[in-house]
Amino acid sequence: MTQLNYEPIDEATLADSNMPPIAETELVPTPVRMTTTALEFKLVAKCSTTRARASVLSLPHADVLTPVFMPVGTQGTLKGISTKQLEDLDCRIMLGNTYHLGNRPGEEVMKEMGGLHKFQNWNRALLTDSGGFQMVSLLKFARVTEEGVLFESPHDGSEMLLTPEKSVEIQNGIGADILMQLDDVISSTVTGKRVEEAMYRSIRWLDRCIMAHGRATDQNIFAIIQGGLDADLRTICVREMVKRNTPGYAIGGLSGGEAKDAFWRTVAHTAPLLPENKPIYCMGVGFAIDLVVCTALGVDMFDCVYPTRTARFGTALTDAGNMQLKHSKYATDLQPIDADCPCMTCRTYSRAYLHSILGQETVVCHLLSIHNVAYQLRLMTRMRDAIIADEFPAFVRTFMSTMFAHSPYPQWIVDSMRSVNVELNPNPHGITSAER
């Protein structure tokens, strides 16, 4: 990845101060309604207790079984794991970062290559983000105007403007099965008028994205619900975006450091407002606990860099929590990370071996990335199987009591599961208000 000068951005400076204020009547224009879709969403089973559901999401390049976790690739390749290995893990959909792909190899090369599928030899489904989030989080001097997101190129310092139209044009060139609208992204910890401004602007940008979308017959554009942690703003955003009739809807603006209690309540409020016959995607969510909670709340799709990022620190994901392989107790432990895991790492190497090579970062990163992605994918499959068997509440109880075998349940997990009629098994350590 290109080394960028990272500098935190003051959210207040992102708000546009030069544009004339938008009149109340122009906050939401006449909706641009979509009539074309390039997906089919077939419900397979619904949990009779929670809001969890299992479906088949048929996309141009693959039939994706939901609930699904989508690993994130950068520069057309996942950190520490190849597309071939993802295929071996039966991964059917992955993410590509529009910002990175737009920089290198670049839009023109991508078009010449015939899109990202061919470029990285991946024949299954792909989803690309709008590029906006990456820019706001990676670049300095970023500023949001009604026209788009203004930022400074890391390569030559020139100013570049990412408009909704440009974002869609780049994503049309990449050719993913699902592309995301450009939205006005703010941190989930921002409060006040800026949240409302970003929400309404995201609706207006959705209209511009739909109008610019040149491949509606073979690429699906997803709207992104904004509105921060404010339930009323989320409701308004859902109502307006549903009028646009996009093939799917994402819940955006979460996993940005907000309290866990606010996180689950926002998902629990937003998901039931969305159409039942369309996929719901919660962006940036990838901790195993969050995947279980959000699946119970009715979410179908997830993505996160966490499994591969945490692999670089020697962390293996398991049902019992994070296994820190650098710990000296693993030096003589000849078991695999997880005896039930069918991944190449678990079939081939012991904890002791992985512990011994921890200094050689690239090898460990690679082996743990394979296991961690396999863990996430298998967690989703196990949930899907439980939903189809209508045993999902029992799965949740077992999962949570294993994860919290040695520590109390966080209150937010107890509350979120209670909201979908699941009482967790008694925990010998009780319940704590501390987050996890």
Site residues, Zn ion (CB under 5 A): 341, 343, 345-346, 371, 374
Q: Which one is catalytic: 129, 177, 290, 338?
A: 129
Residues paired with residue 126 on neighbouring β-strands, in sequence order: 94
Q: Is 407 annotated as a binding residue?
A: no
At 155, list the tokens: 């390569």
> CA 26, CA 165: separation in Å to the nearest integer?
20
* Residue 430 assigned ligand-binding role: no
- Tell me whether residue 102 or residue 307 sits nearer to Zn ion (CB atom): 307
- Determine the residue type at 270: T
Phi, psi of 180 (to 5 degrees): -105, 145
Report yes or no: 46 and 53 within 8 Å, Cβ to Cβ: yes
d(CA 416, CA 380): 19
**Beta-carbon contacts of residue 180 (< 8 Å; ≥ 6 apart):** 127, 128, 129, 130, 171, 221, 222, 224, 250
Q: Is 343 assigned to a binding site?
A: yes
By C-beta, is 45 or 349 nearer to Zn ion?
349
Q: Establish whether 209 is an annotated binding residue.
A: no
**By C-beta, is 127 or 346 nearer to Zn ion?**
346
How far is it, in rounded angstroms, from Cα 104 to Cα 100? 6
CA distances from 93 to 53, 60, 126, 151, 299 (A): 18, 11, 5, 30, 16
Strand partners, 161: 150
Least Cβ distance, residue 323 to Zn ion (angstroms): 11
Alpha carbon separation from 331 to 66, 129, 315, 357 (Å, rounded): 38, 41, 15, 10
Pick the closer one to Zn ion by CB: 374 or 387.
374
173 assigned ligand-binding residue: no
Smallest distance, Å, CB 378 to Zn ion? Answer: 8
* 47 known ligand binder: no
183 is in an annotated binding site: yes
The response to whether 91 counts as a known ligand-binding position is no
CB 343 within 8 A of CB 307: no
Helices 260-270 & 288-296 angle (0-180, nearest 10)? 30
The smaller minimum CB distance to Zn ion, of residues 44 and 357, is found at 357
Residues in the chain: 436
Q: Is 381 helix (H, G, I), strand (E, B) or coil?
A: helix
List C-alpha distances in Å: 196 to 137, 163, 191, 372.
20, 20, 9, 37
Answer yes or no: are the C-beta atoms of 102 and 87 closer than 8 Å. no
Q: Is 341 annotated as a binding residue?
A: yes
**Nearest alpha carbon to residue 99 among 2, 224, 215, 198:** 2
Question: Binding site annotation covers 119?
Answer: no
DSSP state of 318: E
- The reply to whether 10 belongs to the active site is no
**How near is the Cβ of 193 to Zn ion at its closest, in Å?**
48
Rounded to whole angstroms, the Cα distance separating 106 from 111 reads 9
What's the rounded Cα separation, in Å, for the pair 54 and 382? Answer: 11
Which residues pair with residue 221 across a beta bridge?
179
Shorter beta-carbon distance to Zn ion: residue 71 or 131: 71
d(CA 131, CA 182): 7
Residue with Cβ nearer Zn ion (34 or 344): 344
Query: Which lies closer to Zn ion via its Cβ, residue 301 or residue 323?
Result: 323
- Report, in Å, the least distance between residue 16 CB and Zn ion: 48
Give me the catalytic one of 207, 300, 303, 338: 303
Catalytic, 207? Answer: no
Q: Which residues are designated catalytic?
A: 129, 303
Query: Known binding site for Zn(2+): residues?
Result: 341, 343, 346, 371
Q: Which residues are annotated as a binding site for substrate?
A: 129-133, 183, 226, 253
Binding residues: 129-133, 183, 226, 253, 341, 343, 346, 371
